[in-house]
Amino acid sequence: MTSFDGNRDLQSQHPEEGAGPEPAEQALLVAGGRRQAEEWALVLTSEGLRPIVRKTELGFALELLPHEISRAGEILERWREENRRRPPPPETRLIRSRSPLDFPLAYGIALALLAFHVSLDGRSEAGLLLERGSAHARRIVSGEYWRIFTALTLHKDLLHVLGNTLIGGLFLASLAGRIGVGVAFGCAVASGALGNLANAIAYDDAHNSIGASTAVFGVLGLLSGLEAWRRRRLALPWQGAWLPLGAGLGVLAMLGAGGGRVDFGAHLFGLLAGMLLGLAMAPWVSPQRPGTATQLSAGLLASLAILAAWARALA
């Protein structure tokens, strides 16, 4: 008999002297469990052998012709080496490179929304800003593209801006811990703007909305996309990648699909824009997040995009 353990090298076992001989017309490869025996049988069958799975005193085994035993052992050894679990590629490992400034800077950006809203509260200019900066679908489609940026900075009331500040700051801080606060802020603005644009194209009517929640769900989409890419690289093609994407859609259902005046379309398009952006940029930000120069450039570019949009809106 020949025993083959998937966790150790192939070994030959010769019957002890005096023991009853194996029948001349058969030889056995002992697998142990039924599942392993059936798996081995499938491998050997694909190589042209004809093993038969049967139960023995030592466990489940494959019955083969004596002259096939050596070849079967070589086939299984080669198969084991080819399927040995390899360490994940370096780009899929999470590098713990967080800065102690990530969290306060991310929440500082979120608090800027609150400060901007409070500074406008009760002032006569508030109405003008709402009229010039809201995400009016028909006007965006007609060419007033600055609105996809300016609408992210406007809110209906204190409760509205508080929700986006608290939840958005949490999501942004989490994203900043993965890719850096500057790149995270730039991606948040980009996903929010793309979400507003897609929402305007979908409506193409008098639909009008304001709020940073499109960018908030964009950040959630970015987190989902980045994690989906990482899991896709770590696992088999059909395993794992859908989990974070499904989690993102679940949060959308809980936080972004409320009744009343909630703009579900803006939330959905923001989430989808973030997911696509996260998947696209994942190879660039893994395993090590971009350096300081890139962080500063991305943060500055996002800030200039918002300032330029407001300058155009008020021109």
> Same domain, yes or no, for 186 and 210?
yes
Q: Do 219 and 165 contact (CB within 8 A), yes or no?
A: no
Residue appearing with tokens 């980009």: 190
> Same domain, yes or no, for 29 and 139?
no
> Same domain, yes or no, for 118 and 171?
yes
Q: Is residue 110 part of a domain?
A: yes
Q: Is residue 106 part of a domain?
A: yes
Q: Is residue 90 part of a domain?
A: no
Regarding beta strands 2-3 and 27-32, do their DSSP bridges make them parallel or antiparallel, or are they unpaired? parallel
Rounded to whole angstroms, the Cα distance separating 108 from 282 reads: 25
CATH number at residue 32: 3.30.70.1530
Half-sphere exposure of 97 (CA within 13 A, CB side): 15
Residue 44 — φ and ψ, nearest 5°? -70, -35
**Residue 12 per-residue DSSP state:** E
Q: Is residue 220 part of a domain?
A: yes
Q: Is residue 91 part of a domain?
A: no
CA 13 to chain centre: 49
Choose the final residue of a domain: 47, 82, 117. 82
> Same domain, yes or no, for 268 and 293?
yes
Residue 124: what pLDDT? 77
> Same domain, yes or no, for 118 and 165?
yes
Choose the final residue of a domain: 23, 53, 82. 82
CATH number at residue 164: 1.20.1540.10
> Same domain, yes or no, for 158 and 280?
yes
> Same domain, yes or no, for 71 and 121?
no
Rounded to whole angstroms, the Cα distance separating 265 from 271 reads: 10
> Same domain, yes or no, for 174 and 250?
yes
> Same domain, yes or no, for 109 and 184?
yes
Q: Is residue 92 part of a domain?
A: no
> Same domain, yes or no, for 77 and 106?
no
Coil vs helix vs strand at 276:
helix
Q: What is the pLDDT of residues 26-39, one digit of tens each?
A: 677 777 688 888 88
Global pTM value: 0.68
Number of structural domains (the chain) is: 2
Instruction: Return the structure tokens found at 213.
Output: 């929640």
Q: Do 262 and 70 contact (CB within 8 A), yes or no?
A: no
Rounded to whole angstroms, the Cα distance separating 84 from 16 reads: 33
Q: Is residue 88 part of a domain?
A: no
- Low-confidence residues in the chain, pLDDT < 50: 1-24, 91-92, 94-95
Choose the final residue of a domain: 52, 82, 112. 82
> Same domain, yes or no, for 53 and 151?
no
Domain residues for the domain of 266 are 97-313
Regarding beta strands 59-64 and 52-56, do their DSSP bridges make them parallel or antiparallel, or are they unpaired? antiparallel
Give the DSSP letter string of 214-246: HHHHHHHHHHHHHHHHHHHHHS-TTSSTHHHHH
Q: Do 251 and 232 contact (CB within 8 A), yes or no?
A: no
Q: Is residue 275 part of a domain?
A: yes
> Same domain, yes or no, for 49 and 117?
no
Give the burial class of 264: count Cβ atoms within 10 A of its Cβ; 0-12 exposed, 13-18 middle, 19 or more buried.
middle
Q: Do 188 and 164 contact (CB within 8 A), yes or no?
A: no
